[in-house]
Amino acid sequence: MTELQADKLVTQMDYARAGQITPQMKEVAEREHREPEYIRERVADGRIAIPANIVHIKKGMRAFGVGEGLSTKVNVNLGISGDKADAAEEWKKVKIAEDLGADAIMDLSNSGKTRKFRQQLIDETPLMVGTVPMYDAIGYMEKPLVKLTKDDLLATVRAHAEDGVDFVTIHAGINRSVIKTFKETGRLMNIVSRGGSLLFGWMEVTGSENPFYEFYDEVLDICHEYDVTISLGDSCRPGCLYDANDATETAEIIELGKLAVRAWKRGVQVMIEGPGHMAIDEIAANMKMEKRLCHNAPFYVLGPLVTDIGVGYDHITAAIGGAISASAGADFLCYVTPSEHLCLPDAQDVRDGLIATKIAAHAADIAKKVPHARDEDDRMGQARRKLDWEEMWKHALDPERARDRYESSPAATEGTCTMCGKMCAVRTVNKVFEGTTIDLGMDDE
């Protein structure tokens, strides 16, 4: 390779296609128990993305792989809201995300000047950082929605890229053709994506094409310059079970598949965003359809929520859908908290939502036979067999919660818990194998 050719290599995809294994590919390979060549090959053809902005790499970020054959990744949403602008509370959420093993944080700040929070987040967290520039454009440009121009939107994308954002949600799939389908076929919940609804409103008022679609190549130029992975937003994801897998959602997925190919041709990494709300029996087929139409690009899903009436418990409805979707091919789960549809989540909501989503991701990894996915479960089984509580905490997803619950209700019989006490099945069998006589009607110590 000549020096001139080497100078053209910027993105992980560029290097992979040139046959070069980057330090980030090596890091992902080691963490995922895969050979570096396995990672390189799939980054080259888009089946794996390594969202790692060159600016964030210099600040010491960890490299995470998202895609085929890798562990299911989990994202935490947070950010400053116009109704509740409390940066200190958001930093508590960042700490929870880091401590409990999230892989990514999406800064969805949408009020005022958000750049300071975003820059500090990128400076301080080693996790992948994602954003939605459309949310930020109105405050960043200090203009009402309908006055935004394509140059304003591109300038916002560039600001996020320059700051070091690793992946950006770009709602490029909601073009005039998709809107025509939406209007002709109708929906129960219409458009529930915040970014998608803003662009729909802009397009309806101005009569113009979606700027992210019309000037997509310019977006790709920015993303390539900093190696920002483009996460193609699902503007028309179903917001209720009734709208799942309808004509509008399908029309947009077709467009996202085309946009993915265009990005790959420019050396830009891609993820595809997905549903939404969806009945359990429809999830696997949706995952397969998305993978087919989007050429096996990594799939990033919100849930999906498997019922619409679990309000206040939607971290559970989403975890059910997340486990099914990931076992059927989804690669990246966006967490959902108990506050979904209700209010901005507090720190405890974030904790509950993250743990529920990590359970879903881990359960799916076991089903997908991800290398070594079950190791911790087997170690937990061994610790439980020995009634070794300290060892159990080491293998729990949330050791603090597990220990607190156990210690809050002390058992009379040492080594057991208050569920079974002296009648603990594990204790009984252990004593039999030890040759100890068991008499549960009296003290057998």
In this prediction, residue 6 carries a pLDDT of: 55
- Of 273, 289, 373, 279, the residue nearest 324 (C-alpha): 279
Question: How confident is the model over 222-259, as pLDDT tens digits?
Answer: 999 999 999 999 999 999 999 999 999 999 999 999 99
User: How much of the chain, in percent, has pLDDT values that exceed 90?
Assistant: 88
3-state secondary structure of 177: helix
- Give residues with Cβ within 8 angstroms of 214, minimum separation 6: 150, 208
Tokens for 204? 């309806």
| pTM of the model as a whole | 0.94
3-state secondary structure of 188: coil
Q: What pairs with residue 277 in β-bridges?
A: 305
Average pLDDT of 203-208? 96
In this prediction, residue 220 carries a pLDDT of: 98
Task: Write out the DSSP string of 239-263.
Answer: SSGGGTT-HHHHHHHHHHHHHHHHH
Which domains occur in the chain, in start order? Answer: 12-367 (3.20.20.540), 374-408 (no CATH), 409-445 (no CATH)
Question: How confident is the model over 370-403, as pLDDT tens digits?
Answer: 999 999 999 999 999 999 999 999 999 999 999 9
Strands 167-170 and 229-232: parallel
Residue 4 — pLDDT band, cuts 50, 70, 90? very low
Q: Tell me the angle at which helices 216-226 and 247-265 cross, rounded to the nearest 10 degrees.
A: 50
